[in-house]
Chain A
Amino acid sequence: MDRYLFTARSVTHAQQMTRLLEQDGIYVKVRRVGSGVTKDGCGYTLEIPARQYARAAERLRTQENRPVKVLFVSGGKTREVAL
């Protein structure tokens, strides 16, 4: 399934993004990820189904709490995309 990963600088940042998305009816969980995603070691992401990406991106684009970076995962491959 195609999906987007919104990476966070901390678990608190991830939780802030989660709350903002919940206000738009987008319910996602905070997931721990490793160096393969963050480059700096332990980190956190929100996993956004592709069908909800546009709304989620719109919600966070204008917020101070926007993700550190956004990764698109499809067919086992991952690439960074602009929010």
Chain B
Amino acid sequence: MIYLDSAATTFQKPPSVRTAVLRAMRTMSSPGRGGYASAQAAEETLFRCRSLAAQLFGAAGEEQVVFTASATEGLNIAIRSLVPPRGRVVVSGYEHNAVTRTLHALEAEVAVAASPPFVPEAAVEAFRRALALGADAAVCTHVSNVFGCVLPIEEIAGLCRAAGVPLIVDAAQSAGVLPLDLNALGAAFIAMPGHKGLYGPQGTGLLLCAHEAQPLRCGGTGSESLRQEMPDFLPDRLEAGTHNVPGIAGLAAGLAFVRRITPERIAAHERTLLRRAAEGLRTIPGVTVYAPRDEAQQAGALSFTAAGRTCEDVARALAERGIAVRAGLHCAPFAHRTAGTLEGGGTVRLSVSAFSRAQEIDAFLTHLRAILTR
């Protein structure tokens, strides 16, 4: 199989991730629940994972690093911590349903700072206008999961700081690939999955917290057990229940991998592949490619459409040839509305990782050309 759906999950993992998961299953029990060796081994693993994340993402300390099951869970916590029912929220034009459905459930007034893909100055201006009316919070994805367009998060964070509006960053597509610093951004929260650019297993995620947070669920934490209120300190406040220790062990191994390779090198590798894909796609008649002139404006993912073919048909034909891409709306109708691809049913998205190879891009292009010209 040629796997080009890393924006959903990086399917190929470093061998160290699998080893860490298996070792955790063999040797670790419940962290924070006992003073014996297997519990302590689990506690050490969690702490190591928090330390790696804090260092990589500019958190002040390990207590700011909260384990979640996904970026979606982290975004739910962050949004529900900041946005009251029917509150006003400014969002980018590229938000995922993890953000927009949560805001919908809160009946929030959503101001969309819409801007065309790959035009960062337009995104800044859209946020400037939307923030002028005030907001309870702003939510901005760092990289669109549909188009791979990079949002100018530093500038947007600066606008939010100036306006006194807490910012939530959705780093689902950027963590492990682009520079991301909680302290430097001055963001309230950054949410990220463990199973994409951090190469951990599915079912893992991180929420970096620089703001008071409300728990999404209540339960045992192994601390202050006599009290019936959830602890008022992190990370316990947000981590009720037994942790996903094997998953977090794998995530720690993934974080170590990213640190060793460096996000800069991973980003450079992925951009080389996306450029190769975009150049090849432009030579296929009827194909519309969503890619910028300045490749620094894109990370990890690339969308395209083919005239006269639905995106689902194209993806299915590719799948029959052993090529995994994703078609449709990618759980991000806002992004398609912003880019004008909603009416056509979305796009075909290919997305890459540190393990993707140029030969795979070339094979994808060869098969796609054959599919579209037969």
Interface of A is mostly: mixed
Across-interface contacts of A44 in B (CB, < 8 A) = 223
A42 to chain B: closest residue by CB: B225
In the complex, per-residue mask of A14-35: 1 if CB is within 8 Å of any chain B CB, else 0: 0110010000000000111001
Q: Which of B32, B50, B223, B225 contacts A9 (CB 8 A)?
A: B223
Partner of B224, one of A12, A40, A64, A65: A40
- The CA of A10 and the CA of B233, in the complex, are separated in Å by 8
Count, chain B residues at interface, CB 8 A:
26
Contact in complex: A43, B223 (CB < 8 Å): yes
Q: What's the dominant secondary structure at chain B's contact region?
A: loop
Q: Distance in Å from the Cβ of A42 to the closest Cβ of chain B?
A: 5
The reply to whether the CB of B344 lies closer than 8 angstroms to some CB of chain A is no
Contacts of A13 in B (CB 8 A): 63, 233
What A residues does B47 contact at CB under 8 A? 11-12, 15
Known contacts A30-B40, A32-B34, A32-B35; A12 and B63 CB within 8 A of each other:
yes
Q: Does B164 contact A (CB under 8 A)?
A: no
Q: Given that A10-B63, A12-B50, A16-B63 are known contacts, is A35 also in contact with B226, CB under 8 Å in the complex?
A: yes
Nearest Cβ distance between residue B273 and chain A, in whole angstroms? 38
Say if the beta carbon of B235 comes within 8 Å of chain A: yes
Q: Is B61 an interface residue (CB 8 A)?
A: yes
Instruction: Please tell me if A41 contacts chain B, counting CB pairs below 8 Å.
Output: yes
Q: What is the minimal beta-carbon distance from B139 to any residue of chain A, in angstroms? A: 27
- Residue of B32, B44, B60 most packed against chain A (CB within 10 A): B32
In the assembled complex, the Cα of A79 lies from the Cα of B40 at a distance in Å of 28
A9 to B235, CA, bound (A): 10
Residue of A nearest to B35 (CB): A32
Contact A41/B223 with A10-B233, A12-B50 known, Cβ cut-off 8 Å? yes
Q: Does B322 contact A (CB under 8 A)?
A: no
Which residues in B have their C-beta under 8 angstroms from that of A40?
224-227
Across-interface contacts of B235 in A (CB, < 8 A): 10, 12
* B231 contact set on A, CB distance < 8 A: 9-10
Least CB distance from A52 to B in Å reads 21
A16–B63 Cα distance when bound, in Å, is 9
A13-B233, A15-B43, A31-B35 known; A65-B227 Cβ under 8 A:
no
Q: A29 CB to closest chain B CB, in angstroms?
A: 8
B residues in contact with A65, CB < 8 Å: 61
Q: A31-B35, A32-B34, A32-B35 are in contact. Are A41 and B227 (CB under 8 A)?
A: yes
Which residues from chain B contact A32 at a C-beta distance below 8 Å? 34-35
Complex contacts, B227 vs chain A, CB 8 Å: 40-41
Interface residues of A in 41-83 (CB under 8 A from B): 41-44, 64-65
With A10-B63, A11-B43, A12-B47 known, 7 other A-B pairs at CB within 8 A are A9-B224, A15-B47, A16-B63, A41-B223, A42-B225, A43-B224, A44-B223
CB-CB nearest 5 A-B residue pairs? A41-B225, A41-B226, A40-B224, A32-B35, A15-B47
Binding site for B on A (CB under 8 A): 9-13, 15-16, 19, 30-32, 35, 38-44, 64-65
